[in-house]
Each structure stands twice: as structure tokens, then as C-alpha cells.
A and B are shown apart, each in its own frame.
Chain A
Amino acid sequence: MPSQSSRPLRDTTAVVGIGATEFSKAAGRSELRLAAEAIHAAIADAGLGANELDGLVCFDSDVASPIPLVNALALPNIRYWATTSYGGGGACATALLGMMAVATGQANYVACYRSLRTASGRRFGSWSGKEGSAGLEQFFAPFGIVTPVHRRALAVTRYMHDFNIRPEQFGAVAVACRKHANRNPKAVMHNRTLTMEEHLGSRMICEPLRLFDCCLETDGAVAFIVTTAERAKDLKQRPAYILAAAQGAGRQPVWPPPTAIHRTPMTTTHEAAASAKNLYAIAGVEPKDIDCAQLYDHFTPLVLMALEAYGFCGVGEGGAFAEGGRIELGGQLPINTAGGNLSEGYIHGVQLIPEAVRQIRGTSTAQVKDAELTLVCGAADDPSSTLILRR
């Protein structure tokens, strides 16, 4: 195991505030307004003042970029801002950028946020029908691979073939996330149940992927505040210490997906597996130590692949692992306890981090008893990121 001096960010920072807007199909206000509301809520949750916030981190694709927010929130002391890239893979890289800033003294309190209007604004699942395709896209788009679900389908078909994975095992993920959302009054799908029969009977979007294998598109924003473990001790909330955070690209990564076409096995575990290796090397814990996990769920098969990549089961065993209630509350490894991208709301996976914080605080609506460690990961098939929170 590496020495502490080679792991300077291990267990030295914490999440001390979380905030969110409502998650809806039509927010009726701008991404900037949504981001400002979420950050304001996170500052208040931490018991801080706006004058104490001195850092901002978001996705490079966020419409609500940092400097307009400085104005919108009347933040007088911002001295650090940064963005992370490659879509949902970057969900936990937001935290990592905040951690590095507070650990080095470049900032004291960093708000990491994501603001989206993919329900009422431009949907990620839609496609502009553009005339030409450059870069890597010139080898995919001319053949009709143009939306996120198309991008994953080739890997999913091959995954099912290689490991005898069945649609019911995708359904197990969808049903688990929905059950957790049904417990969460703030989830978009709070009042709508989902059975395995309804999952299997839902229309094909891009065979082999059905409607309920695909995540929501949502309007909303989330934010969380990162500071040092030392400062965290004196704040309002029980700190959620960040035991470790890491990124990983793996061998021959590709952006944009479909990532895995040239690799064997053609599952998308490479980016996530690299992230996992880097994470566990810093954290000094093993998959069996994790009490619950928030696994980026843009499409149900990617959750099975993430279970494999993060070592909760062997390669090709994700389908069997997901069955029998193992990933539901009360099971061996409850996942996506607020409902996930599939059923809580799609805030590009960044909303998984506040839920991990609630698990550590003991305030989740699907609370895992005495949760000590919770793992979060970004999209398994993007250049990816991950973290572990501890109580």
C-alpha cells in the first residue's frame, strides 16, 4: 500500500453542505437560476455565508458557468474556479477538483455543482441532424449512431452474448432504482411504481435497450460544498469525509463513445476499472468494505458493468449479482438509494454525491443502517471518476 505521504488527499477533505432544486420536467427558469438556487441551499446547509465561499467547480458543458454565478449569487471572494470534462464520467471529478483546491489552500470552501434542463431544454437524447461529422464521429454518425442510447447499444449486445446476460438482469437495476425513488418524495418517479413485467414490456428504444433501461431527462440543479477535514469539524453538519477520489481513462479510451468497439471483452469496464484501481489504491479499503454504492446509471447494463469494474463481482457476473434483491435496500449492496439517474432525476450523476452524503449523515430516505462507507462513480464507459465517502 502506498504511504500516506504519497496519498496527500486521503481522508483530508469532506463534504459539508448539500443543496438542490426540485427535480422536474419543466423548471420554468434558467440553468443559471437553478445553479444559483442549489449553491445557495448548499451554503445554507453548511452554515456558511456567501462571503466564505471562494471556489466553484462544474462541468465544462454546464450552461451556468462559474463567472456568471459569481454575479448571480453576489459572491465577493471567489479566487478559484475549474471545470471537468467528458460528460457523466466527470461526476466525481468535480469533487476531486474541489479537494485539490482546499488541500492546497487555493480555496477554503468550494461549491461543486451541475445544472441542467434536459427535460424542457435541449434533450441529450435528441439529435440536431447536423449535416456532417468530424473527428471520431465521422466513423460512427454516418451509420446512424447519433444518440446516447445508440452509442451504448453495440457494447450491450456483445455483453449479453459474451456473458449470457438476460433482459431481466437489466430490469433488476431499473426496479431497484424505482423502489428507492418510491421512498424519496423528491424523486421525479416518486409516485410511479415499476414492476419487472412493466420493464420487460416497455417499448424498445434501440434494441437491446428498452425504455426503462434508459435514464430520465430532468430539469434541476445540485451542489455540494467541499472543505478540509479540519474546517469540517466546526461546521453545522456531520462531515462526510472523502476517503479517496480518483479518475481513470484506461487503455485506449475513446471520446465520444461508443468506446469499447476495439476491445475484448467489449464491455465498457476499462475506464471504470482504471478509476477503481486508482481509487482503491488511495482508499486502502476493499469492495467488501463498502456499505452502499451510487453507481452512475445512464443505462441499466452500464450499472452491471460498473458492479464488475468496482470489484463487487467478477467480470460477466454483474447480471447475476443484480438479481435477488442484492442491490436493493436490505440487500448486500444497495445502490442508487435516492433513485439514481433512472428514477430520481438526471443531473448528470452529480446528484449521486449528495445522496452519498445523506447516507453518511444517516438522512437518506432509503437509509442503509450504520453506513460507514459509500462509493460513488461517474459513467463507467466515459473517461471516468469515482470517490468514497466515510462517516
Chain B
Amino acid sequence: MDKQLTQADLGLKTDFPSSIPLPDDDTAPFWEGCKRHEFLIQQCGKCHVFRYPVRPMCPDCGSGEFTWVKSKGTGKIYSYAIPNHPSGNKALQTLVPYNFVLVEMSEGVRVVSNLLDVPTKEIKIGMPVHVVFTEVKPGVVLPHFRRA
């Protein structure tokens, strides 16, 4: 796994003013995993289906039993978008254009994130990527992706 990145390492602005996730009792283990550079996915204890984002019960079978599984951290771009315009949002004026991506992980779940260090014109569906972890603010670690 890569060393933890800081803002200075980033080729993409990711200092969104809303960048602080507010964990609750269900989601806290995921964010704690990010701090350890582990991308954790819930796996249903009954039907063994993986799920993300964090949900209290299995959307397939309804079971509340699950285990946290450490993802291999690899996947492919499933979709992406490029916010080009701040749409009157002062907070976005210095950030656009940026990207956000939907990564289909090897385990099958899809994850919303940002793709670092790839010019927007080069982002393509199917591009292999791997997870990295960025401390966007002191103590706040987000999962981002880089081209594999």
C-alpha cells in the first residue's frame, strides 16, 4: 500500500469544504479502517454478499450478521463525471474542474471516490485503479484511487 498522501502530493484538489465524514455507530469501523490504510467492506454472514456503502443489514437477504473484510484495494472505473462549473457555489469556484469516479472493486462493490493524478481527458470506463489513502485534514483519512 502507498504511503499516506498529504494535500501537497495531490494532483487533484480534494479539499472540499464538506470533506469531513461524520461517522455513526454503524459506519465508524469503516473510517477507522481508512486511518489504518485498510479499505473495509461488509460481507453478509448469511448469504456472503459484499456491500458498500455501509448499511446495517444485508440488502439482499435482510440479515444483520456481517463481518468486515479487508478489500484487495483494486478495481476498475465503472463511471465518472467532471464538475466543470461552480453553478453559483462560491465554495466550488476554486475547485472546479475536478473529477469524481465510481470504482467497481474486485469484490464487486462500487465505491464513490476521486481519481488522483490523472488528467480528466484520460479518465475512461474500465481503467484499472487501486486505492490510496489521503489525510485531507488532520485525523480525516479518505480512500482515493490512482491508476494501477
Contacts and interface: CB of A to CB of B under 8 A. Distances in A.
Nearest to B108: A262
B68 interface: no
Contacts of B84: 203-207
A203 B96 CA distance: 13
A145 B100 CA distance: 7
Contacts of A158: 78-79, 102, 125
Given A126-B88, A153-B81, A207-B81, A143 B113 contact: yes
A27 to B, nearest CB: 18
Interface residues of B, number: 43
B130 to A, nearest CB: 17
A262 B110 CA distance: 6
B81 A150 contact: yes
Contacts of A144: 14, 16, 83, 95, 98, 100, 114
Interface string B17-55: 111111110010000000000000000000000011110
Contacts of A126: 87-89
A157 interface: yes
Given A139-B112, A158-B125, A205-B85, A127 B20 contact: no
A126 B86 CA distance: 9
Interface in A124-144: 125-127, 129-136, 138-144
A50 interface: no
Interface in A85-132: 123, 125-127, 129-132
B142 interface: yes
A133 B22 CA distance: 5
Interface in A9-47: none
Given A138-B21, A143-B112, A262-B109, A206 B59 contact: no
A146 B92 CA distance: 10
A266 B52 CA distance: 15
A147 interface: yes
A82 to B, nearest CB: 29
Contact of B20 (A132, A140, A150, A262): A132
Contact of A147 (B21, B87, B102): B87
Given A139-B53, A144-B98, A144-B114, A127 B79 contact: no
B118 interface: no
A131 B17 contact: yes
A131 B17 CA distance: 6
A207 B99 CA distance: 9
A266 B87 CA distance: 26
Nearest to A261: B110
Contacts of A141: 16, 18-19
A149 interface: yes
Contact of B18 (A135, A139, A142, A157): A142
A123 B88 contact: yes
Interface in A204-242: 204-209
Contacts of B112: 139-140, 143, 145, 154, 258, 261
A353 B22 CA distance: 39
A161 B125 CA distance: 8
A380 interface: no
Given A129-B18, A139-B52, A155-B79, 16 more contacts: A129-B90, A131-B20, A132-B22, A135-B24, A138-B27, A139-B21, A142-B21, A142-B142, A143-B142, A146-B16, A149-B87, A150-B100, A154-B79, A203-B84, A252-B59, A258-B112
24 contacts: A123-B88, A126-B88, A130-B18, A131-B17, A131-B20, A132-B22, A133-B22, A138-B23, A139-B52, A142-B136, A143-B142, A144-B98, A146-B92, A161-B79, A204-B82, A204-B84, A205-B85, A206-B81, A206-B83, A206-B85, A207-B82, A209-B81, A252-B59, A258-B112
